[in-house]
Copies of this chain bind each other. A is one copy, B any other.
Amino acid sequence: MEQERIWTAALVVIGDEILSGRTQDKNIAQLASWLNVQGIRLAEVRVVPDRTAAIVEAVNTLRTRNDYLFTTGGIGPTHDDITVDAIAEALGVEVEHHPEAMAVLEGYYATRGGLTETRARMARVPAGAGLIPNRVSGAPGIHIGNIFIMAGVPHITAGMLDALTGTLEGGRPVVSGTIGCWVAESEVADLLRDAEKGHEGVSIGSYPFFRDGRTGANFVVRSADEALVTQCLADLTRELQAGGREVIAGGI
């Protein structure tokens, strides 16, 4: 089979609140699931503090070795919101007020006390950037080059991803299928390794669990080739059953 182009993305989560343990991050899983549907793989994630140098380093490393780079967090109006300035610095461009973002904020704040200078901070973008619509609250997200700058609050991020759906070029989505089995993974490690080797293009992950007083594991088969996933799941199920293992459930 011809080597398929794989599209990758990275995520930089910007936020002291994640690193302090105060807030449980939800954007990694949310972005990963959304990217899968776009046919793009989340290749790496970094969580960095609200510090310019840390953001610049992460953004410059990851934007050059991935097709897309997403960031979450730090685009509000307060002193700890430094994402836009840091990314402008990473790109070596100025920061400017985006006229369309100003118009959006003027509309949003018309009935909310007016657009103050502080609120207008949320219209600041790296020079040359476009906007990502925000269907949930006022301030828009930002895209510049292959970088997508999004909110940190998960349901606002979700709205921004929704606005981006279908606009990014990707490959075939990765399909994954799962087989559960009442077995200690250590008893079938060779079988799993052979199954992965025997179906070129799939990766198989093994995730043990313990429930109802019994040991089991989920085997997750992933590939961009859905037929291959189906075939691998069927072969794996047959081999597990031939070895006397109790398969719980299978399917894509």
Contacts and interface: CB of A to CB of B under 8 A. Distances in A.
A16 interface: yes
Given A20-B174, A23-B29, A189-B77, A45 B42 contact: no
Interface residues of A, number: 66
A114 to B, nearest CB: 11
Nearest to A204: B80
Identify whether the interface residues of A are mostly helix, strand, loop, or mixed. Answer: mixed
A24 interface: yes
A80 B21 contact: no
A49 B192 CA distance: 19
Interface stretch (A90-98, A180-188, A241-249): A180-188
9 contacts: A18-B28, A19-B41, A21-B36, A22-B176, A44-B54, A79-B206, A80-B204, A113-B184, A153-B208
The 7 closest A-B pairs by CB, nearest first: A21-B32, A21-B33, A45-B47, A79-B193, A77-B186, A78-B206, A118-B189
